[in-house]
Structure 1
């Protein structure tokens, strides 16, 4: 198209654009454009995580190796730390406060050590999850990868640390008369369920910690309260004997107590099924599925917001 201007010159105008009048959303749809960093669909997100499985494993192993790299005893602290905690709890709760009353000492000591090791697995997963995003902002902002890789990797790191500790736990159990049996095989599904639960909890705390970094300062108090309410140092049914039954039920149904009870039942001779709440395996499975699936979806919904702002 052309037209003559007032001075006689001929001006050529461009033909109208075929995109004229289209909104940004319509333009993006027409040319297959998408927002940079947009959250992928849930199925695609799971596929991305599976594609990063080698990174998740390698990252967890690197973190585990580096955790005590500055200490002279190195990786021995993976076992020594929960064992020393168990010793302190035994001195205070076992000897002074007699929290193990009603239990034979041969049962109470492996009972206590198991509780400390198993609860530490959950506690460490939660604390690592809180800082999974906020403590790795450089990595989050520099590279494109599914952010769930970080809290999952930290939960996996804590599982590997627990597996090292289990060697000492087995030694303690044998030293106090609980010898290997077929029941010990139940430890494997119990730990698998606890890992799923811890992973979901780490994902939940990672999203919350990314938005509120101060949560990392609050969580030690929350975890300490949870520990005291979960029967780490005492048998809930024995200590609450004579109290309203619903109190013991609520405390035994909480997931930390459920997973400790499952592993104690599998590992310790003399810790019979009467110490467990009804349908304890169903409870363990329910908590694992609910928190793992719910935590994953909850984390995924904020995928595009991590590392921004």
Structure 2
């Protein structure tokens, strides 16, 4: 008994002296963040490889990165623009719809992939030691790469439908940057949720579809809410899905002004989502790959 106690005390002293930690223990937030930053090159390579592998088994390969959004625009234009006439009140509906679909798909794709970031990489999580935040960051970066690739379609559509090229287009850079920060925050949050509740990824397609329909992707919120209570318009416009779509449209479309509070909202949503999502994900670090 005595020797065991002395042995335990000696081990504790050695642990304190050399700064040892229990295997799998959650690191302090600052140390964790530095380790995450140190793996930035791996994150870039991993996301690029994941993007390439995602289309490797199809006949057309990565051409689907361009074909998929183009086909989505055609289908949604037929259903909403032609059959349901949601294009009323919009000067350039094709460009309006294209920007909305491409931009919103970035957030919804980041969220869905983030929910599978841990549960879909259990082998990697259980066999190697690294900050698990690497995985949702990688999935979000993959979605961002897909958005950048899809701009090969979006930009020509905007130009060919009559929009002039102007310095205002540079606003798209901060718009996408803020959206990326917001999307990463969601990826962190749903990565933790998806690690605990595997069925999360099965429910998300339904949730993101409803979110898209309430974000003004296929219609003008101003036109849609005419004759309705003012709070309905306010709720739809402060919805982050609509906020990031609107700031992107504001950058590329001539006749798409936004309210003065839209850009502050884009900044606020990005800060809140990224800060809260990262903190919540970090708090669950010890449980990833063990539940």
TM-score, length-scaled by structure 2: 0.95
Give the CA deviation at 1:92. Answer: 0.6
Determine which of 196, 199, 210 is the counterpart of 2:181.
Answer: 196
Per-residue CA shift, 1:58-84, capped at 9, x if unaligned? 000001111111112111111211221
SS of residue paired to 1:37: coil
> 1:49 matched to which residue of 2?
36
Per-residue CA shift, 1:252-300, capped at 9, x if unaligned? 11111011000101101222x2xx2331111000000110111001000
SS of residue paired to 2:122: helix
SS of residue paired to 2:6: coil
> 2:269 matched to which residue of 1?
287
> 2:102 matched to which residue of 1?
117
Give the CA deviation at 1:18. Answer: 8.0
Query: Is contact 1:177–1:269 with CA below 8 Å preserved after alignment?
Result: no
Deviates more, 1:23-32 or 1:165-174: 23-32
Give the CA deviation at 1:103. Answer: 2.1
* Inter-partner Cα distance in structure 1 for 2:119 and 2:8: 42
* Inter-partner Cα distance in structure 2 for 1:168 and 1:20: 68
The within-5 A match list for 1:151-300 is 151-271=136-256, 273=257, 276-300=258-282
* Inter-partner Cα distance in structure 2 for 1:291 and 1:256: 13
Determine which of 58, 61, 80 is the counterpart of 1:74.
Answer: 61
- For the pair 1:305 / 2:275, whether they are aligned, the reply is no
Question: Residue 21 and residue 40 in structure 1: after superposition, are their counterparts in 2 closer, same or farther (change >3 A)?
Answer: closer
Aligned length: 290
Query: Is contact 1:129–1:155 with CA below 8 Å preserved after alignment?
Result: yes
Question: Residue 230 and residue 17 in structure 1: after superposition, are their counterparts in 2 closer, same or farther (change >3 A)?
Answer: closer
Query: Which structure has the larger Rg?
Result: 1
TM-score, length-scaled by structure 1: 0.90
Per-residue CA shift, 1:32-91, capped at 9, x if unaligned? 542111000000001000110011000000011111111121111112112211111110
* Inter-partner Cα distance in structure 2 for 1:201 and 1:25: 39
Moved over 3 A (4+): 15-18, 20-33
Larger helix percent: 2
SS of residue paired to 1:19: helix
Root-mean-square deviation (CA, aligned residues, Å) is 1.9
